[in-house]
Amino acid sequence: MLELKNISYKVEGAEILKDVSLKLPDGQLTVFTGPNGGGKTTLAKVIMGLVEPSSGSIIWQGEDISSKSVTERAKLGISYGFQQPPRFKGLKVRDLLEIASGKKSLRKSEACAYLTEVGLCANDYIDREVDASLSGGELKRIEIASILARKTELLIFDEPEAGIDLWSFARLAEAFSKIHDRRESSMIIISHQERLIRLADEIVVISGGQITNRGATEKVLPQIMADTLSCCPMLEGRAQ
């Protein structure tokens, strides 16, 4: 279980997160959503250790990890997928998967299994460099494959739909659904996309640095959709 206790984060006097407390059970897929600038990514980075909170604590599987580094948290089974994954000129996809898996030599069949999971053919990608020759969608899926190779207990993805085409987005959604169906890992996905939000067991709405709504998808999503429509002047005009 992941538990956040009274997490706050201030930068130059501005409160980015305000006393956030949250418990997420094992095996659950949770979507963080809400307006841009609301604190979603900052909260995810606090969990990973990329941002140090001003106050509060983080409990992972019963252990207080608040003072642990990113590397230490990774060793404890937490992974993070960036909104814009890094590119590594000279590093091949096979190398990245081997590093992620901790194996000096990864069998082609193993690499193929990870890449197939995210809709990529190993023959086409295993010897390609993780560089600018890859599209945004390809890079995102390779990053997810590398995270799967790590076999971690908590997977965090920051707006995985950003900068990718519709076909790649569809394959990403399928990959997340398959991962979740196995219930081997807990997942946190930061997203505004309805298709990804619908995959969630629980939605957590974050706005103004606080949790403003949370609950089962079938309860919270209709509320989000209703709020979105009520805030759109064009739709309001049509209704009159």
Mean pLDDT of the chain: 89
Cα 145 from Cα 110, distance rounded (Å):
11
Is the pLDDT at 224 greater than 60? The verdict is yes
Q: How confident is the model at residue 231 (pLDDT cuts 50, 70, 90)?
A: low
Q: Which residues contact 54 (CB under 8 A, 6 or more apart)?
A: 8, 9, 10
Q: Kindly give the pairing relationship between strand 78-81 and strand 63-64.
A: unpaired
Bridge partners (DSSP) listed for residue 60: 2, 63
Cα 169 from Cα 20, distance rounded (Å):
30
pLDDT, tens digit, 9 for 90 and up, residues 92-138: 999 999 999 887 777 888 888 889 888 888 888 989 999 989 988 88
Full-model pTM: 0.88
Token digits for 1?
């279980």
Is the pLDDT at 28 greater than 60? The verdict is yes
Q: How confident is the model at residue 230 (pLDDT cuts 50, 70, 90)?
A: low
For residue 174, give Cα distances in angstroms to 69, 105, 195, 199.
Answer: 32, 28, 10, 10
